[in-house]
Amino acid sequence: MDTPPPSAVDEQSLAATVARAWSIQLDDIRYVPKGVGSYHWEAHRDGRPAYFITLDDLDTKPWIGRDRDSTFDGLTAAYTTAWVLRHDDGIDAVIAPIRCDNGAITVRLPDQFSVAVFPFVDGQPGNWGDPIDSDDRTRLLHELAELHAAHHGRRSGIRHLPHVLPEKDTLLSALGDLDRAWSGGQFAEPARHALLDTEWRVRESLARFDDLAARLDGARREPVVTHGEPHPGNLIRHRYALLMIDWDTVALAEPERDLWMIAEGDDALEAYTQATGRNVDPTAIEYYRLAWTLSDIASFAGMFRSDHTHTRWIERKWAGFVGLLEGESSRPYGPS
């Protein structure tokens, strides 16, 4: 997505914040238009890339908090956990932020945003839908096994993920507003009709989600540290490793929260079972796959009900929305 940087923060003030809080003097910073809800800059020092600056929008992370202050606190805890995983648990696959001079992980700038600085990694970033071959699958599963065994990361103030759908209110609001015209933009009315035609399927999925959530609540399994979104867009190939970025989704949960994204085929997760001795729970796999699907449907519905303009990005989201409503499931990794 070709997202422009927010007008509330300019590159000069961003560089000044990095100099003040991290004592890092930068030659220049170059905006990288990638991601949603976060903005990124490649920062140069001594004529070469040295750091990666992330500006998180505290209004776009409902899975962390319901207001800016709680989201900032949760984001700080998440990035602190990434630091602990890298430096205390010694997990090399974790790309963690650099601490400020005073030991902080994040800096508020201004009220709506949070700044973090990461080391620059000279590698090949992936994209959603990229294929994964058997060697990389095994490599990633071993890295996830190491993450799920993390000892220090469990005690770093990380949140325990409840079995709820954060976007449920958004989805129920859209379902309750199907008898009135939507006026957010060109896709508003088509989205309403598409949701109206498949309302029965969405409501069945919500009921199934609640049933699966109740089962997981009753099982009371011991949670592990999970990344939450180990899809190819959050991986960087560096030499022979797959490095994991974007740790704002880290949480304590069942290991299947990570594993469902790679669970394509009967023996796809065999390397994980061999590495951990832990059997994969198909109920949890189904739950986390369905949670992702319903979250996307809710987010798309909210987007099309709100003001929007016709762009190529919106067209892709529209195609994804229709596919999910027709019963397609999310596929983070494409066929190899």
What CATH number corresponds to the domain at position 294? 1.20.58
Residue 248 host element (H or E) = none
In a domain, 83, yes or no: yes
Do 218 and 312 lie in one domain? The reply is yes
Q: Measured between alpha carbons, how far is residue 35 from residues 2, 11, 38, 56 in Å?
A: 9, 18, 6, 10
Question: Which residue, of 120, 135, 159, is where some domain finishes?
Answer: 120
Question: Which residue, of 90, 120, 150, is where some domain finishes?
Answer: 120
Question: How many structural domains is the chain composed of?
Answer: 2
Residue numbers of the domain that contains 93: 1-120
Per-position DSSP letters for 3-21, written without gaps between them: PPPPTTS-HHHHHHHHHHH
- Residue-level pLDDT at 2: 59
In a domain, 20, yes or no: yes
d(CA 111, CA 68): 8
Do 215 and 298 lie in one domain? The reply is yes
Residues in the chain, pLDDT under 50: 1
State the DSSP code for 94: B
Do 97 and 193 lie in one domain? The reply is no
Do 172 and 318 lie in one domain? The reply is yes
Do 103 and 173 lie in one domain? The reply is no
Encode pLDDT of 143-169 as tens digits. 999 999 999 999 888 889 999 998 999
Enter the tokens of residue 247: 């740790």
- Residue-level pLDDT at 63: 86
Question: Which residue, of 93, 120, 147, is where some domain finishes?
Answer: 120
Do 285 and 180 lie in one domain? The reply is yes
- Residue-level pLDDT at 200: 97
Q: 165, 58, 34, 187: which is closest to 116 by C-alpha?
A: 58
Do 173 and 317 lie in one domain? The reply is yes
Displacement of CA 214 from its chain's centroid (Å): 24
Do 19 and 87 lie in one domain? The reply is yes
- Residue-level pLDDT at 266: 64
d(CA 264, CA 131): 11
